[in-house]
């Protein structure tokens, strides 16, 4: 059983790949939130050997599940109310991600016109392929692998 400590209301991101907690902290912009955040690194895990955990004392509505699903959909989201886990949120690969990754095609309109949203669309769910909405360029950068 996960020890949620003093967390009364918020969420716990469990089964984060060891060493990735800080990346996720920044990608979710938790540094911008006025919430209590606890990062646990290298916790022992039966399933993964080692894992990271992030505890956030903040309403779940403030969490961008699409970004989290894009980074790593194997992360478990536990929703905490009154100090207990009341629900687990399944993560899925989002159909599209906005302003998370950038298109690398120099001829893409997003490279030419500043201020356009960077939109990537899930093109192949099986292979986890994302393509730029404007120029169809495949995203080949790292997610959380
Ligand atoms: Zn593009």
Between residues 59 and 104, the one the model is more confident about? 104
Query: What is the Å distance from ligand 1's center to 29 Cα?
Result: 24
Residues 6+ apart with CB under 8 A from 118: 98, 99, 100, 101, 102, 103, 110, 132
**Segment 97-106 mean pLDDT:** 91
Query: What is the Å distance from ligand 1's center to 133 Cα?
Result: 7
- Asked whether 62 and 35 are in contact (CB, 8 A), the reply is yes
Query: What is the Å distance from ligand 1's center to 109 Cα?
Result: 6
- Please state the φ and ψ torsions of residue 64, each to the nearest 5 degrees: -90, 95
Of 83, 99, 88, nearest to 29 (Cα)? 99
pLDDT digits (tens, 9 = 90+) for 123-145: 999 999 999 999 999 998 776 54
pLDDT for 145: 45
Name the H helices within 90-140. Answer: 109-112
The span from the first CA to the last CA of the chain, in angstroms, equals 27
pLDDT digits (tens, 9 = 90+) for 13-42: 999 999 999 999 998 989 998 888 999 999
Cα distances from 85 to residues 5, 10, 46, 80, 138, in angstroms, run 11, 10, 20, 5, 38
Between residues 97 and 59, the one the model is more confident about? 97
Query: What is the Å distance from ligand 1's center to 27 Cα?
Result: 21
Which domains are seen in the chain, by residue range?
Answer: 9-89 (3.30.70.140), 96-132 (no CATH)
Query: What is the Å distance from ligand 1's center to 7 Cα?
Result: 42
Query: What is the Å distance from ligand 1's center to 59 Cα?
Result: 34
């Amino acid at each position: 059983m996960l020890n949620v400590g003093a967390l009364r209301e918020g969420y716990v991101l469990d089964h984060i790949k060891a060493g990735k907690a800080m990346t996720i902290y920044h990608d979710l912009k938790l540094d911008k939130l006025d919430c209590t955040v606890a990062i646990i690194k290298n916790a022992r895990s039966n399933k993964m050997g080692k894992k990271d955990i992030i505890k956030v004392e903040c309403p779940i509505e403030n969490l961008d599940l699409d970004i989290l699903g894009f980074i790593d959909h194997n992360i478990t989201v536990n929703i905490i109310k009154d100090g207990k886990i009341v629900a687990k949120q399944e993560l899925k690969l989002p159909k599209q991600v906005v302003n998370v990754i950038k298109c690398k095609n120099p001829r893409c309109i997003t490279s030419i016109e500043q201020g356009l949203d960077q939109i990537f669309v899930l093109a192949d769910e099986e292979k986890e392929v994302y393509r730029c909405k404007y120029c169809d360029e495949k995203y080949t950068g790292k997610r959380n692998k």
